[in-house]
Amino acid sequence: MNTINRTAFSNLKLNKGRNIMAGIAILLTTLLIFVIPAIGLGTVEIDMAAANKVYPTFHVMYRNVKPDTAEAISHRAEVETAGLRQDPAMIPVPDGTGWMVYMDDTARKLNKTKLEEGNFPKNGNEIAVSNGLLKAMGITAGIGDTIELPYQPVEADGVGYEKKQEFVITGLLPTQKDSDDSGIYSAMVTRDFVEQEQPASVRRYRVMLRVAGAESMTTDEIKDIYKQIALEMGISEADIADNSIYLSANYRDPSLYAGIAGIMLIVILAGIMTIYSLYYITMIYKVQEFGKLKALGATKRQIRQIVFREGMLTSCIAIPLGLIAGSIAASIGYRFLLSAYGTENPLRPVVIELIENHEVTLLKPWIYVMAAAVSLLTVVCALIRPMQIAARISPVEAMRYDGSMKTKKKLRRGCPEMTLFRLTGANLSRNKKRTVMTIVTLSLTGILFMVISTVLSCADPEEIARDSVFDEFQISVNSRTGDKMHPELEWSVLCKNNPLNRDFEKQVMNIPGVEKITKASLLQVELPDLMDGDETWKTGIIGIPEEYADKMQQTVKEGSCTYEELQQGDKILIDENMLSYIPGTKIGDTLRVVIRSGNNLIPKEFEIAAIADMPYGMNHLSFLVLPNSVIHELAGLEMDYYWSVAADQKRLQSVEKELKSLIKTNELLELKSYEDEVAYNEKNTSFLSQLCYVFMIVLGGVGIMNLINTMVNSIYVRRRELGIMQAIGLSEKQLVRMLQLEGIFYTAGTLLLSLGFGNLLGYLVFLYAKKNRMFGILSYHYPAAQTVVLIIVILTIQLLLTYLIMKNFRKQSMIERIRLSEA
C-alpha cells in the first residue's frame, strides 16, 4: 500500500463518524437509484411478459390475402414473423357453429394455440378437435381414432354444400369455457385439406404478423408500419384487424421513462448535495492536517488523491451494501405491486406465476452496473469541490488556520448590548451563504414532500368517484365502436333494440329501495370536417336529462347558454376537452355532424354556444352535449345509454344484488356502483401514496444525514469558541439555549421554505393535474395532516439532535476545548 492509500485509509478510520454518515447517504442514494428503474421498468416488463404469455402476440392480422401476396409479405424487412391462417370449411354443429381452421407453425405460435394432448395435424386427413366439439357432435373418440365429420367448404360467396370425410384425430384442443354457451367450436386441419378444398386461385389467407424491432417502438409507430405494409401490398383498410388487446397491453408510455429519469435526477441531486456538504465541512477542520502534509512535501495532486480515495473507499463499502438493500427493497416492492394489481385484472394470475417461477428477472445485471456507476459518479461530483479546497491550502495558511471561517467582511454594525439571541444571530450571519445553502438543501426534501402530499391529498377517492357516478348506481349499454368482428355491437345498431327500455325501467323501479332513474342518451355521429387518421372523426353526442339542466349550466366556463336555448336544436355545448383534440375551436363556430341512424346518414349543423368543464358523470367523456329531447328528436328513437339509479342508502346492498341479477340476463348492459368506484379509486390512490411516501422516507433519510452533519459540524468546528464563551461566563443552560436557538432557526427556515415553496409548487402541480385530469384530481385539498407530520418530524429530529450533540459535547471538558487553542 503506498503512502497516499495508507493516508486515505487511515483518514477513513479516523473520520469514522463522518464516513459512516457519508456511507449511509451513499447507500441510500444507491438504493434509490437502483430501486426506481428496477421497479419502474420491471413493472412495464412484467406487464408485457404477462401480455405475451396470455394474448396472441401478433400485432395485426390482414384478411383476404392472396397466397402470393402472403408470401411477399412474409419476406418484407419490416416483418419479424408472419403466420398464415385459413378457415377452409364450416362444420354444421347442432345448436352452434364449428370452423375448420388451418394454421401454419408460425400462426399457431403467434396465436398461442396449444393442444391439451397429442400433436397438431400434419398431413392429409389428420385433425385436432376439442372434446367440446366431439360432445356437441355426439361422437365418442380419442387420439388415434378415425371419425367421420360433415363439413361445408367455404366458397367465394358463402358456404357450399355439405360433404363428409373421415379424419384421424392426432390431438385434442382445449375446450373454450364459453363455447358451451356460444356454441362456437373449432378444429385444426392440415394444409393438404385446405388445398384439397380450395384451389390456389380462390384461396384467401389471414396473415398474422409481428412488426420487426417492435420492442423499441411506440404503439403508434407499430401501427404506422403495418398500415404502410397494407397500403403497399394492396390490402384494404377493412381487411386490417389489429390485435388491440395485445397492442394496448404492450403500450409504452414515453412519460414513464421521463418520470423515472426525473425522479432519479432528484435523487442524484440530493445525493450530491448531501455527500458534498459532508466532505466539504470536514475540509474545514482538516485544513491544518492537509497543511502539515503539504509542509512535509505532499503535492496538490497527492492531497486531492487522499480526499478522493477516502471517498472512494467509503463508496466501496456503501455502494455494494446499497445494491444489496436495493435488491431486497425491489423484491419487496414487487410483492407490494402484485398486491396492488386489481383482482379483476386478467393478467394478475399470470404476473404472479411469472414472478414465482422467476420467468422474468426483475433484478437485471445492467441495473446493478448502472446504479453502481451513477452512485460512484454522484460521489465523484460531490468530491470535486472538497478536493479543490484541500489542494489549495497553503502550508503557512493552514498552520495558522484556527477553524474560523474567513470572511471578507471587515466591519460589523453590531449592537450596543449583547444577548444570547444576538450572539446566535451573529454566528448564523457569519457565513450567510453557507447558512442559506444548508437551509435550501434541507428544504429540498421538504418541498418535494409537500408537492407530493398536495397531489395525493387532492386525489380524493370519494370525490373522484362522485364525479363520474352521480347516484348510487349507473347502468349503461355495453356497445362497441369500430369492432369489425362485431358490427352488431355498434350503438347505431343496438339502439333499435335498446336494452334500456320501458320494460327494463319497470323492472328496475320495482326493486325495493330504488328511488329514481335519471336517463342520459347517446347519439353516434361523424364529424365530416374532421379526420381521425384516414377516416372521418366518429364520436358521440351526450343527451343531458332535464334534471341536470341547472347543473349543466353551472359547468359553462366560456360563453353562455341555457338548457332551454339548447332545446331549440340549433346550438350545441362543447366540453373543454374538445379543445385538446381540436385546437382552435371557438364559440360561434359551426359544427357539421352526420348522424348515423340505422343505415341512414342525416347531416346537421350546430352553432357552438358555449364551452363547459363537465364532470365525467355528466358528459361520460364525450365532448359534444345536447339536451335529451334534441337527441330524441334527431334520432327519432329513445337513445338512453346511461341510467343513473338513485337508491335508498339503507338498502344499497339488496338493490345492488337485485340489479346485478337483472344485468346478468343481459350481456349488453353494464353496472357500475358508486361504492365500487370509490374502492377502485381508493386502491389506486393508496397504492400510489404508499409508493410515494416510501420513496420520500428514503430520500428524507438522505436529508436527515445532511442535517445531522450540519449540526454536528457546526458545533465541532466551533468547539474551541464555545469553550471560550464558557470560560467568560456562558453557562451550560445558555449554551443549550444557544444551540437550540440555532436549531430553531434552521428548523424554522427549513419549514418556511418547505411549506412556502412546497405549497406554492404543490398548488401549481394541482392546477396542472386538474387541467390534465391526472389521478382524477378535481379540487384542491390542503394536505393538512402531512403538514403537521412534516413539522413534527423536523422538530423532533432537531430536538433529538440538539440533545444528542449536547450529550456528546459534555464528554469533553471545557479545559480540553480551550486547550485546543494552545495546541
Partner 1 sequence: MKTMLLETEDLCKYYGSGENLVKAIDHTTMDIQRGEFTAIVGRSGSGKSTLLHMLGALDRPDSGKVRIEGKNVFELKDEELAVFRRRKIGFIFQNYNLIPSLNVWENIVLPMGLDKKKVDQTFVRNLTERIGITDKLKSLPSTLSGGQQQRVAIARALASKPAIILADEPTGNLDSRTELEVISLLKACVNEYGQTLVMITHDETIAQMADRILVIEDGKVVSQ
- Answer for which of 409, 502, 516, 586 binds partner 1 (CB under 8 A) is 409
CB 129 within 8 Å of CB 230:
no
The residues pairing with 65 across neighbouring beta strands, listed in sequence order, are 205
* Binding residue (CB under 8 A) for partner 1 from 407, 481, 554, 796: 407
Q: For partner 1, which stretch binds (CB under 8 A), given 302-310, 353-361, 664-672, 814-822?
A: 814-822
- Among the listed residues 641, 535, 541, 519, the one whose alpha carbon sits nearest the alpha carbon of residue 595: 541
Closest separation in Å from C-beta 414 to partner 1: 4
All three cell numbers of 655: 338493490
C-alpha cell at 75: 419476406
* Shortest distance, position 749 Cβ to partner 1, whole Å: 18
Rounded to the nearest whole angstrom, what is the least distance from the CB of residue 722 to partner 1 in the complex?
Answer: 10
784 binds partner 1 (CB under 8 A): no
Which of 339, 365, 361 is closest to 352 using CA atoms?
339
CB of 386 to partner 1, least distance (A): 22
Q: Which is nearer to partner 1, 486 or 819 (CB)?
A: 819
Binding mask 455-474 for partner 1 (x = CB under 8 A): --------------------
Q: How far is the CB of 733 from partner 1 (least distance, A)?
A: 6
Q: Is 107 in the site for partner 1 (CB under 8 A)?
A: no
Residue from 411, 433, 533, 599 that binds partner 1 (CB under 8 A)?
A: 411
> Which range, of 70-78, 111-119, 425-433, 622-630, touches partner 1 by CB under 8 A?
425-433
Q: Which stretch binds partner 1 (CB under 8 A): 366-374, 405-413, 533-541, 684-692?
A: 405-413
Q: Of the candidates 412, 502, 557, 660, which one interacts with partner 1 according to CB under 8 A? A: 412
Quick one: which of 200, 396, 426, 697 contacts partner 1 (CB under 8 A)?
426
CA distance 43 to 49: 10
Q: Does 806 bind partner 1 (CB under 8 A)?
A: no
Query: Per rule CB under 8 A, is residue 813 in the interface with partner 1?
Result: yes
Per CB under 8 A, 808 contacts partner 1: no
Q: Is 11 exposed, middle or buried (0-12, 13-18, 19+ CB in 10 A)?
A: buried
**For partner 1, which stretch binds (CB under 8 A), given 224-232, 622-630, 776-784, 811-819?**
811-819
**Contact set for partner 1, span 709-748 (CB under 8 A):** 720-721, 724-734
Q: Give yes or no for residue 416 binding partner 1 (CB under 8 A).
A: yes
Nearest to 611 by CA among 568, 576, 570: 576
Write down the residue that cell numbers 360563453 correspond to: 559
CA proximity to 389, closest of 373, 374, 376, 405:
405
Toward partner 1, which CB reaches closer, 427 or 562? 427
- Residues 53, 61: Cα–Cα separation, whole Å: 19
CA-to-CA dists, residue 424 to 688, 707, 714, 740, angstroms:
43, 18, 12, 10
Q: Which is nearer to partner 1, 632 or 737 (CB)?
A: 737
Is 822 a binder of partner 1 (CB under 8 A)? Answer: yes
Q: Does 427 bind partner 1 (CB under 8 A)?
A: yes
Torsion of CA 367, 373, 375, 377, to 10 degrees: -150
What's the min distance (Å) between Cβ of 411 and partner 1?
5
| Separation in Å, CA 821 to CA 294, 406, 719 | 22, 17, 10
| Contacting range for partner 1; rule: CB under 8 A; set: 142-150, 189-197, 416-424, 562-570 | 416-424
Question: How many CA atoms lie within 13 Å of 767's alpha carbon, on the beta-carbon side?
Answer: 5
Q: Which residues pair with 781 in a beta bridge?
A: none
Greatest alpha-carbon pair distance for the chain in Å reads 116
The footprint of partner 1 on residues 430-449 (CB under 8 A) is: 430
Q: How far is the CB of 418 from partner 1 (least distance, A)?
A: 3
Smallest gap from residue 415 Cβ to partner 1 (A): 7
Q: Which position among 115, 420, 671, 795 is part of the footprint of partner 1 (CB under 8 A)?
A: 420
Nearer to partner 1, 64 or 407 (CB): 407
Does residue number 422 form part of the binding site for partner 1 (CB under 8 A)? Answer: yes
Q: Does 406 bind partner 1 (CB under 8 A)?
A: yes
The DSSP code sequence of 754-794 is: HHHHHHHHHHHHHHHHHHTTGGG--S----HHHHHHHHHHH
Query: Closest by alpha carbon to 309, among 19, 84, 724?
Result: 19
Q: Does 418 bind partner 1 (CB under 8 A)?
A: yes
H or E stretch at 46? helix 16-54
Are 240 and 226 in contact by the 8 Å Cβ rule? The answer is: yes
Of the pair 249, 420, the CB lying nearest partner 1 is at 420
Angle CA 703–709–710, to nearest 5 = 90
- The smaller minimum CB distance to partner 1, of residues 590 and 731, is found at 731
Contact assessment for residue 122 and residue 190, using Cβ atoms and an 8 Å cutoff: yes
C-alpha closest to that of 757 among 444, 434, 435: 444
In terms of CB distance, is 77 or 823 closer to partner 1? 823
CB 368 within 8 A of CB 33: no
Which residue in the block uniquely carries the three cell numbers 444507491? Answer: 30
Smallest gap, in angstroms, from Cβ of residue 21 to partner 1?
Answer: 26
Q: How far is the CB of 421 from partner 1 (least distance, A)?
A: 10
Restricting to residues 127-156, name those near partner 1 by CB under 8 A: none
Least distance (Å) between residue 725 CB and partner 1: 7
Smallest separation (angstroms) from partner 1 to the CB of 448: 33
**Residue 683 CB-density burial (10 A; 0-12 exposed, 13-18 middle, 19+ buried):** middle
Q: Which is nearer to partner 1, 494 or 725 (CB)?
A: 725
711, 801 contact by CB (below 8 A): yes
The Cα–Cα gap between 239 and 205 comes to 11
Give the side-chain half-sphere CA count within 13 A for 191: 9
Q: Based on the number of CB atoms within 10 Å of its own CB, is 290 exposed (0-12), middle (13-18) or buried (19 or more)?
A: buried
Q: How big is the site for partner 1, counted in residues (CB under 8 A)? A: 42
CB of 719 to partner 1, least distance (A): 13
Contact residues for partner 1 (CB under 8 A)? Answer: 402, 404-407, 409-420, 422-423, 426-427, 429-430, 720-721, 724-734, 813-815, 818, 821-822
